Amino acid sequence: MRNDPVQAQIARQLSAEPKLVTYLFTKAGVRKVPLSGTFELTPRCNFNCKMCYVHLSKEEQEARGRELTAAEWIALGEECSKQGMLFLLLTGGEPLIRPDFREIYLGLKKLGLILSINTNGSLIDDEMIEFLKANPPYKLNITLYGSSPEVYNEVNGNPAAFEKTYRAIKALKEAGLAVKLNCSTTQYNRDDVGNIYNLAADLNIHTQIAEYMFPPMRISAESAGKAVRLSAKEAGREMFLNIKRRSYDEKLYLMRLRKVASGIKVIDEDAECLDVPTAETLTATEHIRCRAGSCAFWVSWDGKLSPCGMMVEPSCSITELGFAEAWERVCEATRAIMMPPKCTNCDKRFACVVCAASTYCETGCFGKDEPTYICEMIEEYLRIVHEEYERLLKEGAYEDILKEEAEAREKALAAAEAQAKPEAEGKKE
């Protein structure tokens, strides 16, 4: 929280989803319109992150299949656009590793799509910055793995990439391009997360930290419940620490802490996996509620359509079926996905990160067993939250907030009484 509160708030608001966009997703989810797509251009990358769920070497990739060509990606974008796609994220692997990235990007941009890019930033040089300035994306999401070459070496084996990435981030910011930083918390960089926040704060760039790492089911079906990640309790503690890191002033931290301690769901401005509002009554066998497979989709590097990049199934080949047919089949299959009954009925659901994809990656199936790693993570998170909230409450940290709330209630009551008095007198007359 060392950054300027005003600038930090502005950065968060710029990163937040506009209300109009949320409305569009709500309408699209009801009508099953594929409003948002992700094109995974390649599984290849110039990094070798230990926790990656998709990375393949060139040899591994070629053994599994071929990447779609630039012409195929552009043609797919046109087909998706006709079906209703407006928002498109280009990701990898590392998408900039493809020599034809600019061809793909420009071809898709000419379709009028709102494009964002996921990248590790290390391949963004002066020439690429000029290209992006001339053809700006809606947003550049850059993953920052640490605040030093040493941490980069631990996480992805590429120590020289830190300086390249940091220079690129500064240059993109100075060029006026929209940048957001992402960070995955692992045992290799957990002690550096605070430094990452501070580095981003110095640049007035919003940072989104992920404490939960998905098991890499995309790489191996035997990975269910296994991942290079923190222990469940360590991840829970990082969730707690990030309440404060995400708060641009002390008051906001106290308010968020109290909400969680009171059992109120706190949604970050930059939350990506949001629910689609539905009139369906939630039962012990709850259907999937997020946007995946109802108004959002993912196409893998080899042309397989799925609801989400973390899900191995349901999946259909767009090269065999075409997008429209593949989307219809994936939508139908997604409607059959259920959450585990214990998750639906859990009193900690308001704070939980569980979803259909994480359930599948943790247990190897949908709707049957609860993901114990996530259960333990959330239990630890809430334990620390309650402990910290009670401590601060006893120390008087909430006195000013409680006083302000009491005064606000008194003003609201007085205003209501003042409004009611003339109305009552008018009725008497």
CATH number at residue 67: 3.20.20.70
Residue 401 near residue 255 (C-beta atoms within 8 A):
yes
Please state whether the peptide bond connecting residue 93 to the residue before it is cis, i.e. omega within 30 degrees of 0.
yes
- 163 assigned to some structural domain: yes
Candidates 353, 372, 365; CA nearest to 313 is: 365
Token pair recorded at residue 268: 């970050």
Helix (H, G, I), strand (E, B) or coil at 138: coil
| CA 89 to chain CA mean position, Å | 12
153 within domain boundaries:
yes
DSSP string, 5-28: HHHHHHHHHHHSPPHHHHHHHHHH
In a domain, 105, yes or no: yes
The answer to whether residue 416 sits within a structural domain is no
Number of domains in the chain: 1
In a domain, 149, yes or no: yes
Radius of gyration of the chain (CA): 23
Check residue 349 and report its DSSP letter. G
Listed residue (169, 126, 125, 128) closest to 145, CA to CA: 169
Strand (E) or helix (H) holding 148: none
Q: Where are the beta strands (DSSP E) in 230-354?
A: 296-299, 304-306, 316-317
Q: Is residue 401 part of a domain?
A: no
Range of the domain at 213: 5-383
Q: How many helices (H) and strands (E) does the chain have?
A: 17, 9
Report how far residue 395's alpha carbon sits from residue 388's, in angstroms, rounded to the nearest whole number: 11
Report which of 353, 229, 231, 336 is spatially closest to residue 288, judged by C-alpha positions: 336
In this structure, how many other beta carbons lie within 10 angstroms of the beta carbon of residue 146? 25
In a domain, 174, yes or no: yes
Question: Is residue 391 assigned to a domain?
Answer: no
Q: What is the pLDDT along the chain (429 residues), one digit of tens a residue?
A: 455 554 444 444 445 678 899 899 989 988 999 999 999 999 999 999 988 888 889 999 999 999 999 999 999 999 999 999 999 999 999 999 999 999 999 999 999 999 999 999 999 999 999 999 999 999 999 999 999 999 999 999 999 999 999 999 999 999 999 999 999 999 999 999 999 999 998 999 999 999 999 998 888 878 878 888 999 999 999 999 999 888 878 999 999 999 999 999 887 666 666 666 553 444 445 777 789 999 999 999 999 999 999 988 999 999 999 999 999 999 999 999 988 888 888 999 889 989 899 999 999 988 888 899 999 999 999 999 999 999 999 999 999 999 998 999 999 888 888 887 776 566 555
Whether the CA torsion 229, 231, 236, 237 is positive or negative: it is negative
Residues, the chain: 429
